[in-house]
Structure 1
Amino acid sequence: MKRNIKVASAVVALAVLAGCASVSKDGGIGDVGRLTQSRIGQDAPLAREIDAKEVEALLAKPLSAESAVRVALLHNQALKASLAELGIAQADLAQAGRLRNPGVSFGRIRGGGETEIDRAVIFDVAGLLTMPARTGIETQRFEQAKLHAASQAVRLATDTRQAYFAAVAAAQAAAFGGQARQAAEAGAELASRMRGAGNWSKLDEARERAFYQDAVTLQARAQLQATITREQLARLLGLWGGQLAFTLPDRLPDLPAAPQTPADAEAQALSTRLDVLAARRDAEATARALGLTRATRFIDVFDAGYANKSVTGQPRQNGYEVALELPLFDWGGARVARAEATYMMAVHRTADLAVRARSEVRSAYATYRTAYDIARHYRDEVVPLRKQISEEVLLRYNGMLASTFELLADSREQLASVDAAIAAQRDFWIAESNLQSAMTNGGNIEARTGE
């Protein structure tokens, strides 16, 4: 009896220790924040709850790209939902470290003046033996869930940066569109007056009025684009109501002095990209699950426990009870085959992802470098040349060697070159965000221009 009690006590002690298994208090959000911070180059304030005071303080000032990303990480509801999903993986991990609740049986039979009582406490021995393997598997799953959550946060940061640059560029282009419309309106008004004085032909007046109407249409489209891109940014920031009154700077940031030249970009992507790391975790967890499936293919249910029996007028009888599932119909072959196929699927997906990651990095860098060269070309060559032409036309106008319409036409051409320069500068900053995403997070990094 003492031996049975010791065995039962040991099983109960293991069960209690298993029930105490838990994970970090923050549910892995701290690890997700560190993964995110190392990939976006700034602090990543991740939490399940919204910090309304900090969001309000950030929105009170003109937003920069960095502050916009911070607001998104603090306030985006979709990201909050992704962080909440960590709780599911956390619960699965905690559950893997717990035994199935013991079963208690009690039977009482009375007859012929005698009473027979059976008692038993049954524990899941198979669950106890496989607990380390199951805990290891769920630990891998939890780490994978952290990587997925960090990927969501990094993707949100990338999308926010792209939407920010598109919104600032659209507002800047809309402002220049207003200047082009004013120039066209002045030309149309002057042409109308000169036509009325008989100094201008009907054809030339119609041309100036056509320029004006085109300018009106272009400004309306530019204003619409500014509204749409601002709303895209607001959605990513999770803003509504009075929060929509946030302000943006008047112009895009200047180009860096030189483009990035990352060394071993492909190798860096394979070692740091969250989607690649998540795929590796999935393959490792699947491999562990395959080992567990093979180990339990024949015996999947094995219960044991302490039992005693009381009969009227006789000493109490003590012993143990064992319940074992017999593999008469299901030998576990299908489970093993399924686990092996799942593992091979994970391996091939990881290899395919590595190939695509290398290609995405090469494409993203080619786009980034071309966008930088084009933007610098507009900044250093096209815009200064247009400015020089405008100065020469103005000198000729002051010397009565050029007409007012030539001056207005040159002004329109200069505004068009500035508008193209804004678009090229916007494309560079979006390409820069795409490059960072290709090297650290993956996903859809197709070149986007905000059009």
Structure 2
Amino acid sequence: MSAAFVTRARVAALAGALILLSGCTTFSPDGGFGTVSKTASERLGETAVLVNTDQDREAVASRTRELLSKPLSMDDAVQIALLNNRGLQASYGELGISEADLVQAGRLPNPGFSFSRTRSSNDLSIGRAFSMDILSVFLLPFASRIESQRFENTKLLAADAMLKLAADARRAYIEAVAATQSAAYTERVRDSAEAGAELARRMQQAGNFSKLDYAREQAFYAEAVAQQAKAQQQAVAAREKLTRAMGLWGEGGQYSLPERMPDLPKDRPELAALESYAMQNRLDIQAAKQQTQSVAASLGLTRATRFINVLDAGYLNNFETDKGHERGYEISIEIPIFDWGGAKEHRAEAIYMQSANRLAETAINARSEVRESYSAYVSGYDVAKHYRDEVVPIRKAISEELLLRYNGMLASVFELLSDSRGQIDAVKSYIDALKAYWLAQTDLQQALGGRLPPLAMNPTLAPVTQPASPAQSEVK
């Protein structure tokens, strides 16, 4: 067997091995979106989709029309946001970018080929060289591993962005329904104030009402008109905020909302060990850990290659007229005379410490957010319950007793008007307290990673057609 044949066989074997190595990393079927989809299903009970094709867009439009065909619930609003919010779809683009980097890191660098032809007198010289960056080939598994960790980190960040949008949609929904409820109530207050002002005017003309009392009723009516206009604008602004969160426009913005917020759950569960649960459940913390591990791996690679930045190997096949063919190889390597890689290693260490400190900051802030949101959740429930069970029923009882006295000519119209204003303040405060509770629950869910602990989940919210509580009856 000739030496030339052996050489060609070795070259062919090496080429085949390089081709196989370069094909090890390919694009995944779901583009990394499986993590986002699974998180939406497990933590929200909703469906997250990646919209890429016309078929995807048609499916999303069909599902959206179905959800908009009835008054929106909070879960409906979240689902529509996950389907239609373009900012969320844009954030999913990071998955494709990161996966492309991963696939690129797993592919061999392109080889180089150089050719030269020179003639001197009767001499002809031809030079051919085939070269490749051998250092990149050696580091291929390490680079692929680092990019794989970054891709996993990107998946977690994409899923976390989805959970944050879901929380924003919940907040916008609560604000919109509460603002609609308040606007409807202030409209009733304005109508009542208008009737009171008209009654005062007639009594004043008949000489049964002083100028001072008449002015007070007119002032109350004027204030009610201003409050109703302000509440109406707040309802419009809150609705538009919800529309933006859901990514709707045109006819999609003509959705209907419930007349009032859902009532408080019957019981508030006692939640324990929430900080530990958040540390295990929050995706931003998991992403920060993954990022730190990736930076640590990159630091190790930097240290391993600090002295050598260039290592090329090439096969030569030259020809000269008087010498014939010349075959051989060449190796080029960077000589670390002026740059020993210290700056590069120092930079990598600084990046690692930066990542480690950011991880610690994320964990510390997360614990604080859990404590703060749980405190707001507890106090919000207690305050709303107090208004529902104590303040509003008492105001209602006072109003009913005054009405009986008025019908028996034991109380004046002035006492009725004065009492109505106290009742108005109590109902408004209850609406605000109920809104604060639902917002606090949403904040707590987000602080814990998108959901409450499974064993301590709140009872399923009753539909808006449930019998109204005494407080809700006053609101309606």
Give, as a single letter, the amino acid of the residue that structure 1 aligns with 2:29: K
Q: How does 1:336-415 map to 2 (within 5 A)?
A: 336-415=345-424
Deviation at 1:316, TM superposition (A): 3.7
Moved more, 312-321 or 397-406: 312-321
Change in 2 beyond 3 A, CA 1:99/1:307: same
Contact 1:307 1:319 in 2 (8 A): yes
CA distance in 2, matches of 1:223, 1:8: 79
Contact 2:279 2:285 in 1 (8 A): yes
Q: How does 1:123-138 map to 2 (within 5 A)?
A: 123-138=132-147
Deviation at 1:111, TM superposition (A): 3.6
What does residue 97 of structure 1 align with?
106
CA-to-aligned-CA distance 1:119-138 (integer Å, 9 cap, x gap):
22112210111111111111
- Aligned pair 1:440/2:449, yes or no? yes
Match of 1:282 among 283, 286, 291: 291
CA distance in 2, matches of 1:359, 1:6: 65
Match of 1:48 among 51, 68, 73: 51
CA-to-aligned-CA distance 1:326-351 (integer Å, 9 cap, x gap):
11221111000110111111112211
What does residue 253 of structure 1 align with?
262
CA distance in 1, matches of 2:364, 2:203: 67
Deviation at 1:19, TM superposition (A): 3.5
Deviation at 1:100, TM superposition (A): 1.2
CA-to-aligned-CA distance 1:10-51 (integer Å, 9 cap, x gap):
443343234322231222112122234333x21232213442
Percentage of pairs with the same residue: 49
Q: SS of the counterpart of 2:448?
A: helix
CA distance in 2, matches of 1:336, 1:362: 40
Change in 2 beyond 3 A, CA 1:272/1:240: same
Match of 1:31 among 35, 59, 64: 35
What does residue 448 of structure 1 align with?
none
CA-to-aligned-CA distance 1:42-82 (integer Å, 9 cap, x gap):
12322134422212222222111111011111111111110
Contact 1:274 1:441 in 2 (8 A): no
Q: Give the 4+ runs in structure 1 shifted more than 6 A.
A: none
Moved more, 83-92 or 109-118: 109-118
Contact 1:90 1:142 in 2 (8 A): yes
CA-to-aligned-CA distance 1:368-417 (integer Å, 9 cap, x gap):
00000001111111111111111111111221212233223323322321
CA distance in 1, matches of 2:75, 2:439: 14
What does residue 198 of structure 1 align with?
207
Contact 2:377 2:441 in 1 (8 A): yes
What does residue 15 of structure 1 align with?
18
- Aligned pair 1:238/2:272, yes or no? no
CA distance in 1, matches of 2:87, 2:21: 34
Give, as a single letter, the amino acid of the residue that structure 2 aligns with 1:358: R
- Aligned pair 1:331/2:340, yes or no? yes
Q: TM-score, normalised by structure 1?
A: 0.93
Q: TM-score, normalised by structure 2?
A: 0.89
CA distance in 2, matches of 1:142, 1:12: 29
Q: SS of the counterpart of 2:328?
A: strand
CA distance in 2, matches of 1:264, 1:102: 57
Contact 2:35 2:156 in 1 (8 A): no
CA-to-aligned-CA distance 1:99-157 (integer Å, 9 cap, x gap):
11100112223345443322221122101111111111111111111122112111110
Q: SS of the counterpart of 1:440?
A: coil
What does residue 148 of structure 1 align with?
157
Give, as a single letter, the amino acid of the residue that structure 2 aligns with 1:55: T
Contact 1:188 1:212 in 2 (8 A): yes
Change in 2 beyond 3 A, CA 1:268/1:124: same
Q: SS of the counterpart of 1:310?
A: strand
Q: SS of the counterpart of 2:340?
A: coil
Q: SS of the counterpart of 1:304?
A: strand
Give, as a single letter, the amino acid of the residue that structure 1 aligns with 2:50: A
Give, as a single letter, the amino acid of the residue that structure 1 aligns with 2:319: S
| Structure 1 stretches lacking a partner, 5+ long | 443-451
What does residue 455 of structure 2 align with?
none
Q: SS of the counterpart of 2:357?
A: helix
What does residue 122 of structure 1 align with?
131
Contact 2:288 2:359 in 1 (8 A): yes
What does residue 173 of structure 2 align with?
164
Give, as a single letter, the amino acid of the residue that structure 1 aligns with 2:27: V
CA distance in 2, matches of 1:5, 1:131: 25
CA-to-aligned-CA distance 1:238-290 (integer Å, 9 cap, x gap):
12222211111111012112223333211111112121111111111110110
CA distance in 1, matches of 2:169, 2:182: 20
Change in 2 beyond 3 A, CA 1:260/1:11: farther
Q: How does 1:286-325 map to 2 (within 5 A)?
A: 286-312=295-321, 316-325=325-334
Moved more, 220-229 or 43-52: 43-52
Give, as a single letter, the amino acid of the residue that structure 2 aligns with 1:292: L
CA distance in 2, matches of 1:121, 1:419: 81
Deviation at 1:325, TM superposition (A): 1.5
Contact 2:36 2:48 in 1 (8 A): no
What does residue 446 of structure 1 align with?
none
CA distance in 2, matches of 1:271, 1:36: 17
Contact 2:316 2:329 in 1 (8 A): yes
CA-to-aligned-CA distance 1:172-198 (integer Å, 9 cap, x gap):
011110111111111111110011111
Provide the aligned C-alpha RMSD in A.
1.8
What does residue 96 of structure 2 align with?
87
CA distance in 2, matches of 1:110, 1:261: 91
Give, as a single letter, the amino acid of the residue that structure 1 aligns with 2:82: L
Change in 2 beyond 3 A, CA 1:7/1:340: farther
Deviation at 1:215, TM superposition (A): 0.9
- Aligned pair 1:216/2:192, yes or no? no
Q: SS of the counterpart of 1:321?
A: strand
Moved more, 293-302 or 110-119: 110-119
